[in-house]
Structure 1
Amino acid sequence: MLLRYSRHFAEGHGITWNVGQHPVEGATDFLYMAALGWGSRLSHLSVEVTARIFLWLSQAITAAVIFLSLRRNARVPLAFALALTVYFAIGPAYHFSDSLFGAPLYALPALLAWLVGWRMMDSGITTGKALSFSLLCLLVGLIRPDGVLLGALMLLIFLGFTRGPGKFKLFLTFAAIFAILGGAYFAWRIHYFGHPFPNPFYVKGSSGVLSQNLRSMVLAYFYFFLGILPLFGAGVFFRPARKKLLPFALLLLGWIACWAHTSLINNHYSRFEWVLYPIGIFTAGQVGIVAWAALRDRTPAVAWPAVRQVALGIGCVMVVSSLLLAKYGDEAYQDEGSVKAFALKLSPTVQRVTP
């Protein structure tokens, strides 16, 4: 569906489902849809090819950001940083690039915003960091409307965990960016489309907490983080590592709560959950290195070689599990809204055309 909107936009017909009709947006991923249209028009490539270029490039940049941030910000050893980067790169990520869903493009600025937030927690809030964080959160919200909720969750977490002055500056900068730039975009939406939200938002609402949603999201994150669960477990066990894990745990719980009242019918390949996957891998690296230092301090020297061997085994399990997820991901973390299930439901209505 999104590619149809992008194709019409690239051809100069505006954002519409049918050429010549009133503008309508059912794509939800506004900035992704517009980027595909502009990219296709400028490059003279099809929107399908343009989408693959955007998504694979987003995946590659995200992998590079994960590796560099682990090495420079978290001081993670080279082998450990490589293992986590490989876990991201060869895991279930290819599903989105192959199916053309925009989750990789959505996750990249979210990861960058989280990294800026961590720098604020480590070294204090400055005007530059507050501005960078706010603009990145706005970008996340322009790619997908629910990104506004994600940005607000990050803001609350960093306001709560950051020490020292500057909290009001961060809040004021965030509010000003969303009020001025976000407000201008929102006013344009109403003028262009005649209503404030994408069409899917009007049909996905649901009253009450949906247990099926909670089960689906928890299961998806279990499979996403299967290979690095021992690192999160270490974050619970070792007190110094707990401080690294807690902000992400709150973000994860808050994000699941945001989707508890919304239909997940189009949650193909668990794409709504994917936005926290790169952030989780970065967090696992932080937690792992702090827990490793705490474990080394508690372990007698005679037992340390055995501990290192166990750690190496866990690292191998991480890589192997990511390969298994890549191979069996369709069966491992699909819900009833998956592409395969959706196609099976439509198959009785499809007429076979013979030459």
Structure 2
Amino acid sequence: MRQNPAMLTAPRRADEPRTAGPEPHRSRRPVLLAAALLALAAGLWACWSVTVDDAYITYRYSANLAHGFGATWNPGQDPVEGFTNFSWMLWHAPWVWLGVPLPIVSKLTAGACAAVIVWVLVTEPRTRSGAVVAAGSFALFLPTWVHVDSGLETGPFALVVLRAVVLAARLLHDRDAAVRAGEIPLLLLLAGTLRPDGVLGVAPALLVLLWLRRRDRTVWLWTAGAGVVGVVYLAGRWLYYGHLLPNTFYVKVGVEAATDGRWLQLTAATFLPLLAFAVAALFRTRVAAPAALVLASCTALWIIPALSAPAMDYLSRFAWHGFPLLCLAAAWALDTADLRRVAAGAAVVAVAWTTAAGFLAPDARTLVHYGDDLRRAHIAIGLALADTDLPAERRTVAVTDAGAIPYFSEWTTTDYIGLNDERLAHGASPTDVLLADDPTVLVVTSSTPEPPPASWRTDLPRVLGDRELVGVAQMRPEYFQLVFAKPDVAGDVRAALDQRLAEARAVTDARLDPGYTRWVERLSGSS
């Protein structure tokens, strides 16, 4: 029988110890694939309402691009790059013309990518135990459901990195494997446009390709071509936006890095069995090189969040980028186990641990309610502003949560955190910017229904002036959005806001407490 070059194990030599076990029961793989896809689908359905506020930032840029204003925050103003996922933003723009809700586009696209990841994790391992630990850990992990449904590029990016690593791992097994010369360079380019740090995750795979096929001129031509396209992309961004890096970098670079190890501790605890198996694979001759590749890729993906404690790292989102890689490395380790019953038991333990870790994550109980909570606060406010009949020049708002409110309102928006404002990103005072912009409506995030003394380094009393408090939207027990409007429009804004807040309360579960009981009751229709 001819050996499949895609396999990561080779026929055993006569003098080689038996490490790979028997061939898997191929007839049972379709059953495992169907079960994993069913578990994934159930989880995505359970978290379908979750679309994080940051996703609406990308949607706003996509909508402005589709409407002919360019990929910018406020039409008619100098372009600003407040997103970090260019190709993801670009992917959504055509769907605006078709009238398809962009959260639906995101969820279906990311869901399809997650299904492909499941297929890879079922078919790449050599043994049934390996396939179980890889696909089971991935499909039953609650953060998988949230991140795929979130609206961000997390799922597609993880698939791109996984595909690159799988191709490089095949080359490590057989340098003559059927790997197209241009695929890994193109994956590197795609990863870099999905996330600025994306090239780090694919770089180890590209290095493997360049070394093992260093005499293949076609490989070098594809790599050079991808590099040229990448340079042109960077130059185009620089010319259009006026800055080499996305606007968000300049806001976040001054944040003090948290290097006390908490991020690494949480990641290690969550993925402990998978990490242990990946490290153990380093000591198994058959899979040592692919396991080293996985660990190198994960290290490259995780070095920045490990040192910087990034914002919006809910449910270890940045660690999740390497999660499918660890699932596959764990499978390779179990593929080499001498005792299949031991391997099966280890697979069950790893899947159980990972599943429990997902449900026990510190912010898991909050995130499963994110969609409902956002609907009755940020989305309601955005829709209310859109309903308010004001001249275009008066439709101006300032916010700290620059996502759903600007997207649904379509008002000219001052993001006074600075993620979407070059002035603030490059050192301007938020108080001075707000006084200069003089927005009609000012939305303040607060931990109580009362106005805080300051909001994001802003002298709030001075900025508010004579604006009236026209509404309070509560998202969580200690998370409020306070809406202030100028006196001449306060009545109109208040009337629209009252109506939209009432509608939101009618379609949400009206509870604020985080917890799985509330989640189950909402899914079952009993709340």
How does the TM-score come out when normalised to structure 1?
Answer: 0.78
Report the aligned-residue RMSD: 3.5
From 69, 84, 87, the counterpart of 1:31: 87
In the alignment, residue 216 of structure 1 is paired with which amino acid?
Answer: W
Instruction: Tell me the distance in 2 between the aligned counterparts of 1:81 and 1:126.
Output: 22
Residue 191 of structure 1: how far off its partner (Å): 2.7
SS of the equivalent of 1:351 reads: strand
Residue 312 of structure 1 pairs with residue 360 of structure 2: no
SS of the equivalent of 2:252 reads: coil
Residue 93 of structure 1: how far off its partner (Å): 0.5
Residue 57 of structure 1 pairs with residue 112 of structure 2: yes
In the TM superposition, 1:324-335 aligns within 5 A as 324-331=356-363
Instruction: Tell me the distance in 2 between the aligned counterparts of 1:21 and 1:133.
Output: 38
Residue 5 of structure 1: how far off its partner (Å): 1.9
Instruction: Tell me the distance in 2 between the aligned counterparts of 1:167 and 1:226.
Output: 39
Q: In the alignment, which residue of structure 2 is the partner of 1:303?
A: none
From 54, 68, 91, the counterpart of 1:12: 68
Are the equivalent residues in 1 in contact too, given 2:298–2:325 (CA < 8 A)?
A: no
Instruction: Tell me the distance in 1 between the aligned counterparts of 2:302 and 2:130.
Output: 29
Q: In the alignment, which residue of structure 2 is the partner of 1:251?
A: 297
Residue 226 of structure 1: how far off its partner (Å): 3.3
Instruction: Tell me the distance in 2 between the aligned counterparts of 1:282 and 1:333.
Output: 28
Q: In the alignment, which residue of structure 2 is the partner of 1:193?
A: 241
In the alignment, residue 219 of structure 1 is paired with which amino acid?
Answer: L
For structure 1, which segment, 127-136 or 105-114, has the greater mean C-alpha deviation from structure 2 after superposition? 127-136
Deviations along 1:116-136, whole A, 9 cap, x unmatched?
212222222689633111011
Instruction: Tell me the distance in 1 between the aligned counterparts of 2:179 and 2:288.
Output: 28
Are the equivalent residues in 2 in contact too, given 1:125–1:167 (CA < 8 A)?
A: no
From 70, 77, 80, the counterpart of 2:130: 80
Q: In the alignment, which residue of structure 2 is the partner of 1:93?
A: 144
Percent identity, please. Answer: 26
Are the equivalent residues in 1 in contact too, given 2:117–2:324 (CA < 8 A)?
A: yes
Residue 57 of structure 1: how far off its partner (Å): 1.4
Are the equivalent residues in 1 in contact too, given 2:87–2:194 (CA < 8 A)?
A: yes
Q: In the alignment, which residue of structure 2 is the partner of 1:105?
A: 156
Instruction: Tell me the distance in 1 between the aligned counterparts of 2:305 and 2:267.
Output: 13
Are the equivalent residues in 1 in contact too, given 2:169–2:290 (CA < 8 A)?
A: no
CA 218–134 in structure 1, closer or farther in 2 if over 3 Å, else same? farther
Are the equivalent residues in 1 in contact too, given 2:85–2:153 (CA < 8 A)?
A: yes
Gaps of 5+ in 1: 71-75, 297-306
CA 40–207 in structure 1, closer or farther in 2 if over 3 Å, else same? closer
Residue 147 of structure 1: how far off its partner (Å): 1.0
Residue 97 of structure 1: how far off its partner (Å): 2.3
Which has more radius of gyration? 2
Instruction: Tell me the distance in 1 between the aligned counterparts of 2:227 and 2:86.
Output: 16
Q: In the alignment, which residue of structure 2 is the partner of 1:202?
A: 250
How does the TM-score come out when normalised to structure 2?
Answer: 0.54
Gaps of 5+ in 2: 1-56, 374-399, 402-443, 452-480, 484-496, 500-527
CA 121–309 in structure 1, closer or farther in 2 if over 3 Å, else same? closer
The structure in which a higher percent of residues are helix is: 1
From 474, 482, 488, the counterpart of 1:351: 482
Instruction: Tell me the distance in 1 between the aligned counterparts of 2:331 and 2:354.
Output: 16
Between the two structures, name the one with larger relative contact order (CA 8 Å, sep ≥ 6): 1
Are the equivalent residues in 2 in contact too, given 1:6–1:47 (CA < 8 A)?
A: no
Are the equivalent residues in 1 in contact too, given 2:315–2:363 (CA < 8 A)?
A: no
Residue 67 of structure 1 pairs with residue 122 of structure 2: yes
Residue 172 of structure 1: how far off its partner (Å): 5.7
Residue 33 of structure 1: how far off its partner (Å): 1.4
